[in-house]
Structure 1
Amino acid sequence: MALTNLALTNLALTAETPRPRAALKDLCISFPRPDLPPLEVVSGISLDVAEGEFVAVVGPSGSGKSTILRAICGLLKPSGGQVLVDGKAVAAPPPQVGFMFQKDALLPWRTVAENIRVGAELGGTPAAEQAAQVARLIKLLRLEGFENAWPKQLSGGMRQRVSLGRLLAYRPSLMLMDEPFGALDYQTKIAMGLELLRVWEAERRSIIFVTHDIEEAVALADRVVVFSARPARILAEYKVHLPRPRHMRAMRSDPAFTELTEAIWSDLALPD
């Protein structure tokens, strides 16, 4: 039977519109409280993250940014709406999703190489291939010479590089990053941002990056999503058209960078 014009149009749209790597559909999250109404943290958020896209999420403290990440990785059940990863509803932690926290959480009894290897083991990399994978990531993250160092012997920035290596060794198609550089000093934070960009440009995984730092968000991301205060709603979204590769210190003198950061600051200053 011949396809109708409507069916042909739908096929064309499907071919032209790739399925998002992650999708939030009218997501609502509330927490029960004894003797009080539930605390509404997230209210009706809809957001798509494309394949290979770097999305930063900013907003006030307590606005549900980290809560969203927990829902995407299956650690938290929404009270309404839906979370999809690769088109499938999330009911348990999806194996293709990796999480990086603010605290590196390295295993103190494992060396740098062994900590990175944990990701390869959990990701199902065959044992015969793990050594080569770890060696590639150590080179990519510029950790040569520290393969046999213990976490306690590393600086904060180096520990975060090892943590990033462990995440990449897991080979997730979607990386969730919850203020991974928030505890670092300013210079180390800038250096780690450059490392992340360099690795992302080589690997091109989808990233959702939560941060309080608006300049960091603009410097890193393809798109910045601005959350309101609790209960979180999306106040605005901004495409970041600054050219890549990006040099974070040099961008501060770019009028487009300044204009975008000021616009986001203005959004966050507005009353809900």
Structure 2
Amino acid sequence: MALMANVNRADRMPMSPTPQPAQSPRAELRDLRISFPLPDMSTLEVISGISMTVAEGEFVAVVGPSGSGKSTILRALCGLLEPSGGSVLVDGKPVSGPPPGVGFMFQKDALLPWRTVAGNIRIGAELGGVPGDRREERVASLIKLLRLDGFENAWPRQLSGGMRQRVSLGRLLAYQPSLMLMDEPFGALDYQTKIAMGKELLSVWEAERRAIIFVTHDIEEAVALADRVLVFSARPARIIADYKVMLPRPRHMRSMRGDPAFTRLTEAIWSDLALPE
């Protein structure tokens, strides 16, 4: 079994920006700074000079304390939030509005209650410009991939939480994004359903190989899913560690919990999050 890199604290800090990969990055933040005005005319600094890259097909997880700006960087990447300083790039181009080829998946599934399972997934194909004669083929293939066979004509109210999230993931994939931004998509699910959804996501990612930025509070989930795990400090956020996960794929989330390398890495990240300001 391949082992992860040494995780001694001396090797982690001080932290320098992640080197740019050989190929052009799918997403890039350069010295990103974000502040929000407060009613007393002061400002709240949320992001403090973050630089990071995400390569084509790379799965990057982001962990950190609540309120540390993890979700904020996703909003900046999809053009919903203008930075106070620094640069946000997708496919090498500065982001000044919603960029093409970027899909967002939230913790809440936000399915349209008046559309069936197939209809909700079809929305992604419509927004993504999939030609009309290919939409049904795309929808059908995603229904099979996400194990929703037999529920094509079901309404969202008839589905479990995990099934609703699979439909939401199907809608995102139908859009055919080159970059998937996922903001705690499984955070509201029970443990068993979360494990099942993680398995589904890995299956889809291994088949589609889209670049993913996955925000989560669950350190074990981050290590089990990702190629890299970025650790954010408390607000104002900076990157305090960037781990390359060397665990072999395919990964089975339940069995990984007893793996010594998995345990060492999760404990190292817990240690990072316990560091004083």
Query: CA–CA distance in 1 between the matches of 2:145 and 2:231?
Result: 32
SS of structure 1 residue aligned to 2:242: strand
Counterpart pick for 1:63 among 64, 68, 87: 68
Give the C-alpha shift of residue 36 in structure 1. Answer: 3.3
2:21 matches 1:19: no
The answer to whether 1:138 aligns with 2:143 is: yes
Question: How far does the alpha carbon of each residue in 1:184-232 deviate from its partner, in whole angstroms, 9 at most, with x for none?
Answer: 0000000000000000000000000000000000000000000000000
1:82 corresponds to which residue? 87
* One-letter code aligned to 1:227: F
Pick from 19, 43, 49 the counterpart of residue 44 of structure 1.
49
Amino acid aligned to 2:89: L
Residue from 244, 255, 275 that aligns with 1:270: 275
Deviation, structure 1 residue 126:
1.0
**Which of 115, 128, 134 does residue 123 from structure 1 map onto?**
128
Q: How many angstroms apart in 2 are the aligned matches of 1:176 and 1:100?
A: 6
Pairing partner for 1:224 from 229, 240, 252: 229
Gaps of 5+ in 2: 1-20
Measure, in 1, the Cα distance between the counterparts of 2:138 and 2:59.
24
Report sequence identity in percent: 82
What residue in structure 1 maps to residue 101 of structure 2? Answer: 96
TM-score (norm 1): 0.94
Specify the structure having the higher radius of gyration (Cα): 1
1:181 aligns with 2:183: no
2:37 equivalent to 1:32: yes
- Root mean square deviation of aligned Cα: 0.7
Instruction: Structure 1 unaligned segments of length 5 or more: list them.
Output: 1-15
Specify the code of the residue in structure 1 equivalent to 2:230.
V
Does 2:177 correspond to 1:172?
Answer: yes
1:214-260 C-alpha deviation (Å, 9 max, x unpaired): 00000000000000000000010100000000000100010000000
SS in 2 for 1:44: strand
Out of 108, 113, 117, which is 1:108 matched to? 113
Further displaced range: 72-81 or 123-132? 123-132
Matched with 2:163 is: 158
Q: 2:205 aligns with which of 188, 200, 209?
A: 200
* Aligned partner of residue 111 in structure 2, secondary structure: coil
Aligned counterpart in structure 2 of residue 235 of structure 1, from 237, 240, 246: 240
4+ residue stretches of structure 1 with deviation over 2 A? none
Distance in 2 separating the partners of 1:129 and 1:154: 26
Distance 1:240 1:69 in 2: 22
Equivalent position SS for 1:36: coil
Rounded to whole Å, the distance in 1 between the matches of 2:41 and 2:246 is 45
> Which residue is 2:266 aligned to?
261
Partner secondary structure for residue 149 of structure 1: coil
Structure 1 residue 127: Cα displacement? 1.0
Q: Normalised by the size of structure 2, how large is the TM-score?
A: 0.92
Q: For residues 148-189 of structure 1, what are the alpha-carbon distances to aligned partners after superposition, in whole Å with 9 as ceiling and x for unaligned?
A: 000000000000000000000000000000000000000000
Aligned to 2:11: none
Structure 1 counterpart of 2:14 = none
**Larger RCO (alpha carbons 8 Å, 6+ apart):** 2
